Structure 1
Amino acid sequence: MPDALPPLIALRTFALVAETGSLTAAGARLNLTQPAVSRRIRELEAALGVTLVHRGANALRLTDDGLRYAAALQQAFGAIAAATLALQGAAAPPLRVRAYTTWAMRWLIPRLPRFRTRHPGVEVEVVTSTTPVVDFAREGLDAAIRSGPAGAPPARGAVRLQQVDVAPYAAPGAARLGLGQLTLLGSRVRPRDWACWFAAAGLPIPAAPPLLFESSSLAIQAALEGLGAVISPPGFVEEDVRRRRLRRLSPVLAATGDHYWLLLPPGAARDRGDAFWDWLLDEVAAMPMETPSPPALSSA
């Protein structure tokens, strides 16, 4: 074994390049420019006397040596992370994430066991709020989820997660009556979702306004009890559909124009949230994709 290892920061830089597949993405994690990341990789290659990365005009890929070295480094850094968590033990506070109630209950929390598998020992505390302002320091937050228009991020540096698309659902017994015979259920937080859906479907908006609940969770529960048809993103009710507790009433999927956004605290305070950020983006990328229906043509 050599007396001296390459600089730890160079090894970490290469491991992040291998993990992200991008000099730019690795630089964002390290608060470095792309040229600075490239320079560290070249210095590491020079120290090792081995080419780790093939550089192309528009992309890079690891060499065979680079792939083997990256796999070993990922195991090593994983062992360091696990040892650090074990050393900190109960003293390490949970990762505190603020989100909307329905998104937390119906999308995030069912997936958290996979985060625990990927990051054993890292606990996630979920708090809910619809307050538009996020004060990371005062609230002690490591990450927050906000919604807003696609072209207007709710904060500088916000990362776009999911487009908010909606479709109608009802319990099987109620679904047999047809949408026109059902009470429309929705949320006061998102009062225009039904109007968006009827416009996308090319149907007139019913004269009777939707029955709006305090949250989408309550509206979904009301639909499960057979009280009417709820408008919801498919991801919120996928388990209920799979277990046949709810049935989708139309193939039309309407884009509301909103997105969910991930916010992290600025500067060094964001380090704790990086693992959550990476995992969350992987979960979103793994979701089945469904393209919203094009706007219906007017009959006028």
Structure 2
Amino acid sequence: MKLPPLKSLPVFEAVARLNSFSRAAEELSVSQSAVSHQIKQLETFLGEPLFERHGRSLALTRGGQDYLEGISSALVQIDRATGQLLGRQDSSLRLAVFSSFAVRWLVPRLPDLHRQHPEIQLILEMTGEHPVLSGRVADSFITINTDSPAYSYDLLYRERLFPVCSRQYWQALEGNVLTPENMAEHTLLSTFSIYNRTCGDWEAWFAEADMGIPATAQVQHFSHMLLALEAARYHQGIALTNDYMLSNRDDAGDFVRLPLHSVVTGDSFYFAIKASRRQEPGLRSLRNWLLARAIDSGLLDDKPVINGNAGNRKENE
């Protein structure tokens, strides 16, 4: 077994994560020259540079990126195994998740996670479009991206969109027969990012009824589903939303789901972790808790699908 200078590995990880020799030195409570020495020693052992230095600018080389990816999870596993042997009970886990899923579904349920698993210290990271599944980003993900064969995936939710409005707006509609044809008489609140095009959500909804958006439709545009839903809350029109946005929230009663059809977007949300880490106690507990809450809240039936195929969502949530 040919191992590198082991003291240099956490130093390399800190420099790569902080993108700075001086900040890494401060975090590790050593001198900057000691950090430079450890990096030089590791580069000499590997026979290639790990960083590109241009004046004060610092960046990982391609080899450095690959090496960081390989050692990051190993360092985490060493830390966790050591902590377990020493009797350390806490488990700090990073979960990367779309902001709307976090705000509307996950965060309200965190007190239950803390009650059931006080040993888990969950750190939430917001993800954007197709987040890179990497240990450098997070320990686990809620994502629609199932491209990496190194990861294991558990289905949490298959998305569908349906129209909602505020109770006050609904009172003005009561007595009217709502049909796709006369929806254009009301302001439609559209989320750009679901299909990554203007009116993409309402186009899909009307297409389900074999029609296009009526030319007379008044559409108000928003970049994010959270914004469109807030506009609906304040009586500004009818929005398309999904199940997790209204699932068991205290404010779900502010909205009325209109007696009209829904449309399946083709996107599925998965809990993703590296297959090699699937049996770690903290990640296993988090996975089981998420699946149980998805079932309780109606997002998922009681037969979870593992390693399914996700859709093509482009929402920057």
* TM-score, normalization by structure 1: 0.58
SS at match of 2:213: coil
Seen in structure 2, the aligned counterparts of structure 1 residues 206 and 146 have a Cα distance that, compared at 3 Å, is farther
Moved more, 273-282 or 195-204: 195-204
Residues 142 and 270 in structure 1, CA contact (< 8 A), matched pair in contact too = no
Residues 167 and 231 in structure 1, CA contact (< 8 A), matched pair in contact too = yes
SS at match of 1:88: coil
SS at match of 1:105: helix
Q: Which residue of 1 aligns with 2:120?
A: 122
Q: Which residue of 1 aligns with 2:60?
A: none
Q: Which residue of 1 aligns with 2:144?
A: 147
Provide structure 1 residue ranges, at least 5 long, that are not aligned to the other structure.
1-82, 292-300
- If each structure's helix is expressed as a fraction of its own residues, which one has the higher value? 1
Provide structure 2 residue ranges, at least 5 long, that are not aligned to the other structure.
1-82, 302-317
Q: What are the superposed Cα offsets for residues 148-182 of structure 1, whole Å, 9 maximum, x if unpaired?
A: 6xxxx343332222100110001122232464333
Residues 247 and 297 in structure 2, CA contact (< 8 A), matched pair in contact too = no
The structural deviation recorded for 1:201 is 3.9
Seen in structure 2, the aligned counterparts of structure 1 residues 125 and 257 have a Cα distance that, compared at 3 Å, is same
Seen in structure 2, the aligned counterparts of structure 1 residues 269 and 209 have a Cα distance that, compared at 3 Å, is farther
CA distance in 2, matches of 1:222, 1:125: 29
Q: Which residue of 2 aligns with 1:88?
A: 88
The structural deviation recorded for 1:135 is 4.1
Residues 182 and 229 in structure 1, CA contact (< 8 A), matched pair in contact too = yes
Q: Which residue of 1 aligns with 2:153?
A: 158
CA distance in 2, matches of 1:116, 1:86: 22
* TM-score, normalization by structure 2: 0.55
Q: Which residue of 1 aligns with 2:201?
A: 193
CA distance in 2, matches of 1:270, 1:210: 48
Seen in structure 2, the aligned counterparts of structure 1 residues 86 and 223 have a Cα distance that, compared at 3 Å, is farther
SS at match of 2:108: helix
Q: Which residue of 2 aligns with 1:275?
A: 285
The structural deviation recorded for 1:260 is 0.8
CA distance in 1, matches of 2:160, 2:125: 24
Seen in structure 2, the aligned counterparts of structure 1 residues 290 and 183 have a Cα distance that, compared at 3 Å, is farther
**Paired amino acid for 2:109:** R
The structural deviation recorded for 1:147 is 2.2
The structural deviation recorded for 1:274 is 1.8
Paired residues for 1:10-159 under 5 Å: 87-88=87-88, 92=90, 94-139=92-137, 141-147=138-144, 153-156=146-149, 157-159=152-154
Say how many residue pairs are matched: 202
The structural deviation recorded for 1:268 is 3.5
CA distance in 1, matches of 2:165, 2:292: 30
The structural deviation recorded for 1:85 is 11
Higher relative contact order by CA 8 Å / sep ≥ 6: 1 or 2? 2
1:211 pairs with one of 202, 216, 220: 220
